[in-house]
Amino acid sequence: MTNVIETRGLVKRYGDLTAVDHVDIAVPQGTFFGLLGPNGAGKTTTLELIEGIREPDEGEALIFGEKVWPRNRALLPRIGVQLQASAFFERLTVAEQLRCFAELYAVPLTRIDRMIELVGLEDKRTVRTEDLSGGQKQRLSIACSLIHDPEIVFLDEPTAALDPQARRNLWDVLRAINAEGRTVVLTTHYMDEAEILCDQIAIIDRGKILTTDTPRNLITGLGAAYRILLSEGAVSEEEANRLPGVESASLDNGTLALTTHEPSPVLTALAERDALHGLQVTSATLEDVFLTLTGREYRA
C-alpha cells in the first residue's frame, strides 16, 4: 500500500518546549487515521507541520511523496484542511460561504449542493453562519474543506464541544467522507471517538508518538483480562469459579464479577445455565493503553 503521508523525524520547538518531538508517521491511502492525545500533546502542531502551514525545526513531512515545506502549492488542490478554530467570511449564509470557497478553488458550483447534502445542512442553506449552532458550524467547516474534492482531508478536533448526539451525527459524516475513498486524518482527545472511527491510531503525548496501531491491536496487545459482570444469583460464586475459562469470580455489592482471557467458553457456559441475566462484558480500553504507556491516567 502506498503511504500518502509520511513524516520523518519531525521536530517543532517553541523556546524550551519541544511541541513535536521526532514524530514519524506513515498513513496509507484511504486510511482513517487518528492522532489521539490529551490537551497540549502536540496534535495541532503536528498537523500544521504535515499541512505545510508551519516550518519544522528538524525532519520533513511528505504528502504524495512530495515535500510540504517550503510551501508546496501543487499539493493544495489535493488536500483539504479544517482548522481547530474555524473562521468564516462575515455575514454570509451557508450557501454563500460555500460559493466563496467554490470560486476560490474554481470548482463547479454544483459542488455546493453536494456538500450541503453531505453534511446535512439542507435546511440551513440560507442561514447566516453566525446563527448556526456549534455542531452546524463544524459541519459547514468540514464542507468548506471538502469543496474542491481533495484526496486527503485533515480535521482538527472536528467534534470538540459538541453534545453526544451531535458528535455521533458528525461521525456518520466523517465515515461517509472516508467511504468515498478519501484518506482522513483526524485529531481528537476523545478515546471512544478514535476507537470507533479510526483504522489506525497514533497516540501522542508531550510531543512524542507513543505507539501506532489499529485500535484492536492496541487494546488486545495489553493482554488484559475481560470482566464479565452478572447479577447476584445468576450463578453461585462457587459454580462461577468452576466454569471453563474463569480465572476468578467474586461477589461484590450484589454483582458477581468474573475475570477471563477467554470470554467465549465462559459465555457459552453461562448461556447453558440460563444465567445471562444482567450480563455486562468489559474489556480493556484505550485508556488502559495510555495508562500502560505513560504510567499516568488519561486526562483529556
Ligand X SMILES: Nc1ncnc2c1ncn2[C@@H]1O[C@H](COP(=O)(O)OP(=O)(O)OP(=O)(O)O)[C@@H](O)[C@H]1O
Query: Which residue ranges make up the site for ligand X (CB under 6 A)?
Result: 14, 17, 19, 37, 39-45, 84, 189
Which CB atom, from 139 or from 189, has the smaller least distance to ligand X? 189
Q: Rule CB under 5 A: say whether 188 interacts with Mg ion.
A: no
Sheet containing 17-28: order of strands: 17-28, 3-14, 58-63, 66-67
Cell of 85: 478554530
Place of cell 498537523: 47
Closest approach of ligand X to the CB of residue 215, in Å = 19
Closest approach of ligand X to the CB of residue 42, in Å = 4
Which CB atom, from 31 or from 44, has the smaller least distance to ligand X? 44
40: partner contacted, choices ligand X, Mg ion, none (Cβ within 5-8 A by kind): ligand X
Cell of 7: 513524516
Please name the residue ranges forming H helices in the chain: 43-51, 94-104, 110-118, 134-146, 164-179, 191-197, 215-220, 237-242, 263-272, 286-294
Q: Please tell me what DSSP assigns to residue 71.
A: T
What is the C-alpha separation between 61 and 251, in angstroms, rounded?
A: 54
Place of cell 482471557: 261
120: partner contacted, choices Mg ion, ligand X, none (Cβ within 5-8 A by kind): none
Which CB atom, from 143 or from 204, has the smaller least distance to Mg ion? 204
Q: List, in order, residues 6 or more apart from 55 with CB less than 8 Å away.
A: 69
Selected range binding Mg ion among 23-31, 79-87, 100-108, 121-129, rule: CB under 5 A: 79-87
Which CB atom, from 83 or from 118, has the smaller least distance to ligand X? 83
Residue 29's closest CA among 63, 55, 76, 53? 63
Closest approach of Mg ion to the CB of residue 187, in Å = 6
Which x/- pattern, by CB under 5 A, does the window 37-76 give for Mg ion?
Answer: ------xx--------------------------------
Give the three-state DSSP class for 68. coil
Closest approach of Mg ion to the CB of residue 141, in Å = 15
CB 27 within 8 A of CB 154: no
41: partner contacted, choices ligand X, Mg ion, none (Cβ within 5-8 A by kind): ligand X
* Chain residues in the site for Mg ion (CB under 5 A): 43-44, 84
